[in-house]
Structure 1
Amino acid sequence: MTIAAPPTRRDIAYRGFHLPADTTAGTVDERGRWTTPPVRVGFAVAEVVPSWTAETPDGCWIEVELRGWHGEAPATGWYLLARWAADDRTVRRTSIPGQRDGDAAVDTDTLVVTGAMVTGWQARVTLCRPADSPTGPVLRSIGAVATGPALPGPTGTPEPTSPAARGRVLDVPRYSQRLHAGQYPQWGGGGDSWCSPTCTSMVLAYWGLGPTAEHCSWVQPPGPRPVVVHAARHCYDHEYAGAGNWPFNTAYAGLHGVDAFVTRLRSLAEAEAFVAAGIPLIVSAAFRADEVPGLAYDTRGHLMVLVGFTADGDPVLNDPYAPDDDAVRRTVPRQAFEAVWQRGSGGVAYVLRPASVPLPPPPAQANW
C-alpha cells in the first residue's frame, strides 16, 4: 500500500545514516507511518524477525520498527530494525546497532527479548522521501516470525511427512559463490561471504525472475555471473558489513516479482510441504566441518537452497560454498542436517515464490 497521510516535514541530520560521500543532507518529508495491529502468538516470545517487501524510488527509504506486546498493552518500547532502500545511491540500507535496554535488544535483523514478558508483536513502518521527490515509497507487505525461548526437541512421535516431496528434486540452477572470490570486496569481502545473495539469485532464477542484463551492466568486468554481484550489492547491510541480513535478502527478492518473507520452520517435515508444492527454500545452518557428512567446512552461519529430498527423505541441497557450479548439488543425511539447521538458526528459511504459486496449507500453529 501507499501510505498517504498528510506529510510531516522533519529536518534530518542523517546521524547514523550510511551515505555516499557526495550526499547532501536536507529536508525530508515523512509521507506516512503505518502501525500493524498487535499480533498475539499465544506463547512467551524470545525472538522476532521482521520481513517486508517495498518499493523505494531514488532518494527514498523505509524504516521498520518492532515492539513487544503482552495482554492488552505494549510490553516494550519501539526498536528500529532497519533503514532500508532498494538502491544505495542516496541512503544506504542498514541495520541499527546499539539498541539495548532491560526489555530487549536488537541483534542485526532480530529483536531479542531479554527481560520483558512478551506474547505478541507489533510493527511500524515509516515511509520517507526527500522534500522535492515527485514520488514516494510503496509498502507491499510487512510481517514477522516470532519464536519461543527454545524450539521443542524430538517428541518420539514421528511427524507427518509429505509423500509428494520424497524423491522430488526441483530444478533450481546451481550457482557457486566461490567463483566470485575477491570480486567487489567492498560488499562483505567478495564471493566467499556471499552465500545468502547467491542462494537468493538461484531461487529467483528458478522462477525465471531476477535483474535484467541492463540492471547488471554496472558489473565490470562482468565476471562469471553478474546477477550474483548485483544481489550482493543490493542485499548488503552497511552496518553489519555483510550481505547476509535475512530480511534484506527477502526484500531484495521482492523487487523482482515474488512474494518473499522470512520464517522459521520446526522440522524438515514442514520443509517437505514446500518442496511438494514446488517451492524451494533457502535455509540457514551453522556447523563444524564434517558434523554433517558431505559438508567439510566450518561455518557460524551459512545459507543453502533446499531443492528436494531423496526417496528415503534425505535433503538435497544447492550449497553455494563449492569450487564450481557442478559441485553445488549435495545430498546430506536428514537427521544430522536437521539438527544443525534447528540449532544454528532455529530453522530459519526464506520463502520466495510468485503470488500465483500457492503456499502449502500451514500447520495448526501457523508459521507461514
Structure 2
Amino acid sequence: MAGPTSRRTVLGAAVAAAASAGSLTSLSGAAAAPPSSGRAKAPAPLIDNHFWSSYTDWRSGGAAGTKAVAGRRPGLVIAAPAGLTEYTDPHTGSRASWEYAAWTSPVHRSVPATEVIASWNAHTPAGTWLQVELGGTYSDGTRTPWFVMGRWAAGDGDIRRTSVDDQSDGRATIWTDTFSIDDAASGLRLTAYQLRLTLYRKPGTKLTPTVWRLGAMASDIPDRFSVPASVPAGPARELPVPRYSQNTHVGQYPEYDNGGEAWCSPTSSQMIIEYWGRRPSAADLAWVNPDFADPQVCHAARFTFDHQYEGCGNWPFNAAYAATYRDMNAVVTRLSSLTDLENLVGAGIPAITSQSFLKEELTGAGYGTAGHLMAVIGFTAGGDVIANDPASPGNAAVRRVYRRADWEKIWLRTKRYNASGKVVSGTGGVCYLYWPDQPTAAQRRALAGVGIR
C-alpha cells in the first residue's frame, strides 16, 4: 500500500517574508530563578499546558468589548463591539465589514519553550468568526510580534478558515499552526506568552461567537532520534471506537486536499467524536453525495480544511471541529510517554497521535509516511498499541496492533532519517485529546495527569 498523504510533511520551505514588527507592552521578562535550597533539583518540565476556561479566567486579562458569561459552561462573548473593520478573504477575494471585540489573556509564564501550539473551543454561528493570536517574551527579554495562530469559523459560508503563512520575526516562525524557535540550539526560548482572541460578527446584529476554552501547549522537547523503552503500565484495555478508512474516500471531494487519500486527520477525528456518541445530523450531511459511504468523514474533511495550507491536517482546526459537537472539549498537546497514553486509554479516553516513519520502522503497517494521524484505542496485555489506522484499505482492516517499541520511537522522537538518509522532523509526542463536559472522576484524573484541566 502506498503511504498516506498528510499535512505533516517536512517543513522545509523558507519563510517568504517577515511579519510586521510589533510589541506587547504588557509582557515582561522571565521570572528570576528561585534561590537554591541545597536539595537536588527535580528535572525541569518539558511540556506546559495552560487553558483559560472558567468564569474567573474570562474575567481576567484585558477586555475590549467582550464579556464573561457564567453558567454550566462559562465563556466569552461580544458585549458591545469595540469597532468596525474590513476583512478581505484571501481565498475568495470577498471584502466585508465586521464588528469586532477582543480579549487578551493574562501573561502566562510557561516552561522555556521552543514550540507553542494554541487550541480553542468555540461556537461560531453563521455570521461570526474568530481569530487567535500569540505574542510573547523571549529568554533574552525581547518580545515577539503578535502572530496569527488561526482564523476560524465552524462553517465556510462567511470566511474560509485559514492559517497565515509568512510570519516570522527572524527568531521564530509560524509553521501553519505551530510557533517554532528557528534555532533551538542557540538556547533562545519563549518564556512567557499571551493569547489574543478577536471575535467578529456581521454589523448591526446581536450574533456572537462563544468561546469556552482557549489556551496552548508550550514545550521544549530535546532533539532525539530515539526514546528509552518503557514498561507496560496496566492491564489490556480496548475502547469501542468506530472504524473508518480514509481510503474509502479516495477521489471524493478533491477540493479538500485531493480527496480521502489525505484525510487521515479528519477520519481519525470522526472516529473519536463518534466514540463519544456525537455525529453530524442528516441535515448536516445533506450536501454529501448520497452514493458515498460514511458521509460523516467527508463532512469532517470539509469542516477541518485549512484553505491556506490546503489540507485537512491543521491540528487546532481538528480540535476546534471536534468541540463543535454537543458538550465536547478538545485540545492539542504533547504527551511525554506511552505511559501517559496508557493512563488515558485506561480511563476511557482515546487519543489521536501524529507520527512519521519509514516502511520498515512500523512492523505490519505496510507503508511509510512523512506524517500520519491514527487513533490509539487500546493496549494489549503485553503493552503493544491497538490503533485504528485510517490508512487501511477499508473499514474492516482499520484495527491494527503495532509493536510498542516501534510506536514509541516513531511517535515520541523529534528527528529521524528519511529514505534518502536526510534528517527530517518528528512530532515529539503530539496528539489530540477529545472529551465531554462531564468526564468521570477517573477521566478527570487522567487528564489532570497530563496537565489538562
Helix, strand or coil for the counterpart of 1:337? helix
Helix, strand or coil for the counterpart of 2:190? coil
Q: How does 1:225-236 map to 2 (within 5 A)?
A: 225-236=294-305
Bigger CA drift: 304-313 or 352-361? 352-361
Cα deviation, 1:75-132, whole Å, max 9, x if unaligned, reads 3121001000100111010000000112311100101123654123221110011213
Q: How many angstroms apart in 2 are the aligned matches of 1:55 and 1:222? A: 30
Q: Report the residue type matching 2:91 in the other structure.
A: H
Q: Report the residue type matching 2:202 in the other structure.
A: P
Q: Report the residue type matching 1:345 in the other structure.
A: T
**Unmatched 5+ residue regions in structure 2?**
1-74, 414-425
Change (3 A) 1:183 1:365: closer
Cα deviation, 1:181-213, whole Å, max 9, x if unaligned, reads 000000000000000000011011111102112
Identity of aligned residues (%): 40
How far 1:3 sits from its partner (Å)? Answer: 3.2
Q: Report the residue type matching 2:217 in the other structure.
A: V
Question: TM-score, length-normalised on structure 1?
Answer: 0.91
Change (3 A) 1:359 1:9: same
Q: How many angstroms apart in 2 are the aligned matches of 1:213 and 1:146? A: 39
**Unmatched 5+ residue regions in structure 1?**
none
Give the alignment partner of residue 248 of structure 1, picking from 317, 321, 326. Answer: 317
Q: How many angstroms apart in 1 are the aligned matches of 2:84 and 2:172? A: 28
Change (3 A) 1:362 1:203: closer
Residue 215 of structure 2 is aligned to residue 143 of structure 1: yes
Asked whether the 8 Å contact 1:95–1:237 carries over to 2, the reply is yes
Match of 1:17 in 2: 90
Match of 2:96 in 1: 26
Match of 1:171 in 2: 240
Asked whether the 8 Å contact 1:59–1:129 carries over to 2, the reply is yes
Bigger CA drift: 57-66 or 244-253? 57-66
Match of 1:197 in 2: 266
**Looking at CA atoms only, which structure, 1 or 2, has the larger radius of gyration?**
2
Match of 1:39 in 2: 108
How far 1:71 sits from its partner (Å)? Answer: 7.5
How far 1:220 sits from its partner (Å)? Answer: 1.5
Helix, strand or coil for the counterpart of 1:220? coil
Asked whether the 8 Å contact 2:78–2:209 carries over to 1, the reply is no
Q: Report the residue type matching 1:309 in the other structure.
A: F
Give the alignment partner of residue 155 of structure 2, picking from 61, 82, 87. Answer: 87
Cα deviation, 1:319-353, whole Å, max 9, x if unaligned, reads 00011111101101111111111122110111011
Residue 128 of structure 2 is aligned to residue 60 of structure 1: yes
Cα deviation, 1:116-160, whole Å, max 9, x if unaligned, reads 54123221110011213331111111111111152678886x767
Change (3 A) 1:151 1:171: farther
Residue 433 of structure 2 is aligned to residue 360 of structure 1: no
Change (3 A) 1:238 1:170: same
Q: How many angstroms apart in 2 are the aligned matches of 1:162 and 1:13? A: 51
Q: How does 1:70-81 map to 2 (within 5 A)?
A: 75-81=143-149
Bigger CA drift: 141-150 or 225-234? 141-150
Residue 255 of structure 2 is aligned to residue 186 of structure 1: yes
Equivalenced residue count is 359
Q: Report the residue type matching 1:129 in the other structure.
A: R
